Structure 1
Amino acid sequence: MKRLLIPGGLTLMLLLGGCGDDTPEGPEEPEVQLPPGSDTNVTDEDPEDVEEAEEPEEPAGKEPDSDEIDPLSFFMDDGTTAQFEGEGMEFATLTIRTDYLEEDYVALYEDNGGTTILKVYRLADDKVELVKEEPEFYDDYNPTSEELEELEAVSTYLEFPLEEGNTFDDRTVVETGATVETPYETFKDAIVLESEESENATNRWYFVEGYGEVKREFITQEEGEEEFTVTSSLESIE
């Protein structure tokens, strides 16, 4: 087959002639704006990336501490009355009424059959303080916010964390996760506190989160004598 050979110069002229087309272009067509949500609005973004971008960011702040303790959980519910069975002496039988006052204040009315003692506690994140203790109190205590704020600490009732070996005031945490028997229930996760009242006498308290104090003991033993114990144990809650 014969091939048609075109000189290189002629080829260049033909190409230049093609580039010199002066035909005027028509007016540009207006861009059509499609309504939001139209199926024709296609983007190159990955749908998963879009969803992730729309998720709100978590606010910056302190992460919750699963071990954090609510001091209020070491008191009975507001308005409840607890009966404690007594052994060892007449005044070991107790009736304790719980009354929530202003925020962070709890009052206990402790009736031992001989007198009623008012005890007021102030709650903080790291401790509970006894701020008022008054025997022979037979009325309801209705202080103002200002009166509560003016109360000064008498002693530290609890200090957190309640870990074995920790000491506050004259109290020491001697055991955690203890089993304690009461007429109301056998508790298996009690916290035991002790205080040496004298060389031969010890006070012991048993606390359970969600109930507060469920048992108390006064233990004494004179030299050459048997140990003597006075006990108040939770019997009922109304």
Structure 2
Amino acid sequence: MKWIRLIGMFIFIFMLTSCGSEPVMPEIGTPEPETDIPQEMDQTDGEEAAAEEPDANQTDLYAFFMEDGTVAKFKGEGNEFAAITLRTEYLEDHHIAVYEDNGGTVTLRVYRLEENWIDLVKEQPEYYENYQPTAEELRALEPISLFLKVPINIGDQVKGMTVIQTDAQVETPYRTFDEAILLENISEEGALLRTYLVEGFGEVKREFRMGEGEEEFVVTSSLESIE
């Protein structure tokens, strides 16, 4: 029963959130050359237009998720629920929905991208529908926990885990990644939890290790394909 409980904990703690492309930046209009506009009004219009643009840091936060509409598959080893399919959808007002299917259930997680951090604002297991909220409904969601904050440095907390390296190398069936962000956490039972984040892809691998030597129990989920 202890092993089953630890495996369940592993599946619950780790979540995949991969990368996305930058959104198209709105162009700031300029007045026609022949139009005589007072200087003060011109400056005000420029300030209002600039305020509508996403913050530069907020735009960069998309790099920690897969692109809109992406379906990523992860090869699982060590447990029947380690093989994962991840679907990413961009929602209104800088929100991203991630559907994680481990073969046993589908969990919906919704993230809100703020100025220089990301909050988890919705988490619902056994979710088999397509989440289609309005912008008002999204903004009404209360933050559950901090996902990450940029810039990311060694010793920071990301996904509730500690940043150990920011230049780690990690091998997956998809490819070998350099400059990965390695996160670690050791549970009260002594289980080692690891996850690897790569800018431009998000999470590409997760590991669960318990025991030592021949008695070590290992479960991994590694990025295998992106559609």
User: 1:219-234 residue pairs with structure 2 within 5 A?
Assistant: 219-221=209-211, 226-234=215-223
CA distance in 2, matches of 1:133, 1:68: 22
Q: Which residue does the alignment assign to 1:235?
A: 224
Q: 175, 188, 195: which one pairs with 1:205?
A: 195
The one-letter code matched in structure 2 to 1:152 is: E
State the shift of 1:161 in Å: 1.4
Calculate the TM-score normalised by the size of structure 1: 0.68
Q: Which residue does the alignment assign to 2:123?
A: 133
Runs of at least 5 residues in structure 1 that lack an aligned partner in the other structure: 1-58
The one-letter code matched in structure 2 to 1:149 is: R
Runs of 4+ in structure 1 over 2 Å off: 66-69, 167-170, 195-199, 224-227
Specify whether residues 129 and 195 from structure 1 end up closer, same or farther in structure 2 by C-alpha distance, changes over 3 A only: farther
Contact 1:170 1:196 in 2 (8 A): no
Q: Which residue does the alignment assign to 2:140?
A: 150
> What is the CA deviation profile of residues 58-111 of structure 1, one whole-angstrom value per residue up to 9, with x for unaligned ones?
x9x9xxxx9997110010000010000001100000000000001310000100
**Matched position secondary structure for 2:137:** helix
Q: Which has the higher contact order (CA 8 A, sep 6+)?
A: 2
Q: Which residue does the alignment assign to 2:206?
A: 216
Q: 170, 178, 187: which one pairs with 2:177?
A: 187
CA distance in 2, matches of 1:104, 1:206: 24
Calculate the TM-score normalised by the size of structure 2: 0.71
CA distance in 2, matches of 1:117, 1:193: 22
The one-letter code matched in structure 2 to 1:192 is: L
CA distance in 1, matches of 2:99, 2:57: 30
The one-letter code matched in structure 2 to 1:158 is: L
Identity of aligned residues (%): 56
Specify whether residues 190 and 69 from structure 1 end up closer, same or farther in structure 2 by C-alpha distance, changes over 3 A only: farther
Greater mean alpha carbon deviation, residues 72-81 or residues 143-152:
143-152
State the shift of 1:196 in Å: 2.8
